[in-house]
Structure 1
């Protein structure tokens, strides 16, 4: 199971389109709301998310129904924030490292929805204000009536493989010593395989042939993305990095990747954190 997957909440899609059923859940005394510190998750001593009563929420708050757990409704408040969701802050990564996998999945969903609501308060069609509807899984324009729904942006993340070695790279914003799989957004009119080959060539100058899919993962930072993990067959091993994209790139052996995944202090590089699909991709490759 990849990171940010496995939430135990039932998303109850049928309730989203039923205003009366949604209102009944809002009035349920057992209802819980996710407690955040800004956009950071609060983490209990047991490594779980912290939930509070709806009584603590303002009457005019925008609430999104995350789902049901044992028939108890769980919500998140749309925190109005002009600053994009935090990307790779050490504090965020520490919090995610303490959370159980299923709670990280629930938090990831909440964070993605908050980010989407904050960037869709005005209608892209006519510019008028929008109002939350469909239990928080949509916004409707107050003027033209156009309905808008949360979207997911597809991103390919991949290892190129050549003669038993894998290609990893690092960006300047990475912590010292950290390397990861290469990644990039799919472009319109492009298949997954084409995007994998294009991104590896653009970032590292390595031509690739066959591409195989490994796994996928939702990624809640910078909006809502779906990370599509692949391994590509490299046709050559010469690296020519694009300095606008990468600070460095290198070929690593399976033994070097195993040492990095194990957190060996003498490893050639530091692996991505376990909740990142790049970690899962490296594990799949060495396995």
Structure 2
């Protein structure tokens, strides 16, 4: 059976056209949905690449000596911003490391210069005396010449010994044994303190761990310093303080001004004429003493004495079997 729609051909054609237009619109929408994110992604990628390229160029400029302190941070929380902040943190740490290295190089150069100066002084004096004796043998008093020569040689030997010891104090003591600090303080005080009133307050049985020779050297330097600057009295106190040993060496001299209480522990430090080469050493004794204290996990600093002079305070850990 055949069905004929009167006047329906035009309607069918119109409907087919509308369907084609709908399909075309949907295809266009689908293309937009697919293409727009890709275009946006390319734009964002291009901006990110330009930002990364800018960071690279800024790093190249810094490597070539540009004085700038870092790369430009764009802000925000994107990966490029985080990269810029990470780069700046790295550059800051590198600058700090360079500053520390430069300060260490300056200290090394200053130390070498000071050591050379200190060694040249007695060597030059020794050479002058020997040349004068050679030019005027008949006018030379050999006993006097030998006395001055030996004193100059003792000074040179002392400086060299201190310098060698300082180079070894960056590590732990090579010898670690139980040391009776009470006995060492008593013996060194009796041996070194002469011509002054000595006041001892020493707790018995105070024992530490370390190198006996280095500890004796440290005590000797502290007592020698007190002996040279005391007017009349030197007071020594040794006691247990919690898990440590505390030794104080106080004198009734002029004391150390607060501004100089760290400087006196530097190499070749002298505060005034009272710490001259004639009365004192080369300015290494307190530096050596602090170095030995540090090598034994201890501390050494100076305070104002209640008796008017300086009070050096040494703290060291007690040996494990003698801790409270």
TM-score where L is the length of structure 1: 0.21
Higher Rg of the two aligned structures: 2
Q: As a proportion of its length, which structure holds more strand?
A: 1
